Amino acid sequence: MLDLITTSTPLFLTGAFIFGLLIGSFLNVVILRIPARLEFDWHCQCRDLLELQVPEEASEPPPGILWSRSQCPKCGHAIKAHENIPLLSYLFLKGRCSACKAAISQRYPIVEAITGILFLLVAMHFGPTVETLAALGVTGILIALAGIDIDHQLLPDDLTYFLLWSGLFASLFNVFTDPVSSIIGALAGYLSLWLVYQLFRLLTGKEGMGYGDFKLLAAMGAWMGWQLLPLVILLSSLVGAVVGLVMIGLRRHQSSQPMPFGPYIALAGWIALLWGDQIVEAYMRSSGLGGY
């Protein structure tokens, strides 16, 4: 059966898209629950440090990521299996809880659709290869990190470190780059933003970005090597600047308010993972720097 799927392009691509929808449904849970779990752990650590008594209502931990069933945030209705089918359930339920009729956030189908489409693009680009499996994993983690950073301006170490170490491990098998380029890429990715951060703080007395951004760029360097880091930095800075100016122009964001940079690094890293070499080659050729 597996051979049939991998040798048949339509079946392979359809399977990648459906798999992406399912993973997107899981990523919604990750985006929602990891920050809640982290906040609960931080509160527990602070109470232990200050030797404070834990209020009874605060002693119950938030739902786990893998085993706790999803519930309606309004009425607590436990989501049944047929109500949790990616995209379809949202359409059948007309975007409302089956119990209390409260509106379901549009984020759920949006994340599912984005994940399905990106998984499809990865499968189309790499085909039935080891690179596809690796790129699908990277894609899923980047979506989760982008979603969490948009909500909380937070890039959890559990995800960034896993992405970093898995990239270094993959380089041992030359999946996307070699071990030397991967190690240099991880170091260069972290230090480049760290130096920008220190220089900005020295000049302005303010913090321009968080340490999670350093770790995420380091992870991108570990997966793709140092050679594509300039492209990732350029793309993320360009997209971030354009989006920021548009949001300020539309008065949806105050210029004095911080903006998460992680989603732009994630998007630029994903683009570079798939088409980075072609983009660099096209630029070198058009600028006359490449060979003929």
Regarding whether 33 and 177 lie in a shared domain, the answer is: no
Indicate the pLDDT class of residue 1, thresholds 50, 70 and 90.
very low
Note the maximum CA span of the chain: 72
> Do 137 and 277 share a structural domain?
yes
Whether pLDDT at 8 is above 80: no
pLDDT at position 5 over 90: no
Q: What is the CA radius of gyration of the chain?
A: 21
The Cα–Cα gap between 147 and 152 comes to: 9
User: Do 56 and 187 share a domain, yes or no?
Assistant: no
70 shares a domain with 166: no
With beta carbons less than 8 A apart as the criterion, state whether 232 and 262 touch. no
The answer to whether residues 140 and 67 belong to one domain is no
pLDDT class of 137 with cuts at 50, 70, 90: very high
DSSP label of 203: H
Same-domain status, 151 and 272: yes
223 and 160 in one domain? yes
Q: Are residues 61 and 141 in the same domain?
A: no
Residues 37 and 117 occupy one common structural domain: yes
pTM for the model stands at 0.90
Question: Within 13 Å, how many C-alpha atoms sit on residue 216's CB side?
Answer: 32
For range 92-107, the mean pLDDT = 85
Nearest to 124 by CA among 282, 275, 283: 275
| Residues 139-187 pLDDT 10s | 999 999 999 999 999 999 999 999 999 999 999 999 999 999 999 999 9
Q: Which domain holds residue 275?
A: 129-292
Query: For residue 290, which amino acid is it?
Result: G
- When pLDDT is averaged across residues 13-21 and rounded to a whole number, the result is 94
Domain termination site, one of 128, 157, 192: 128
C-alpha angle 134-271-281 in degrees, rounded to nearest 5: 105
Give how many domains the chain has, as a whole number: 2
pLDDT at 180: 97
140 and 264 in one domain? yes
Instruction: State whether 137 and 259 are in the same domain.
Output: yes
Residue 9 has pLDDT above 70, yes or no: yes
Please say which residue of 75, 96, 128 terminates a domain: 128
Q: Mean of the pLDDT values across residues 35-46?
A: 81
| Residue where a domain terminates, one of 107, 128, 149 | 128
Separation CA 252–CA 254 (nearest Å): 7
* Beta carbons within 10 angstroms of residue 219's beta carbon: 32
Q: Is the pLDDT of residue 3 over 70?
A: no
Are residue 251 and residue 278 in the same domain, yes or no?
yes
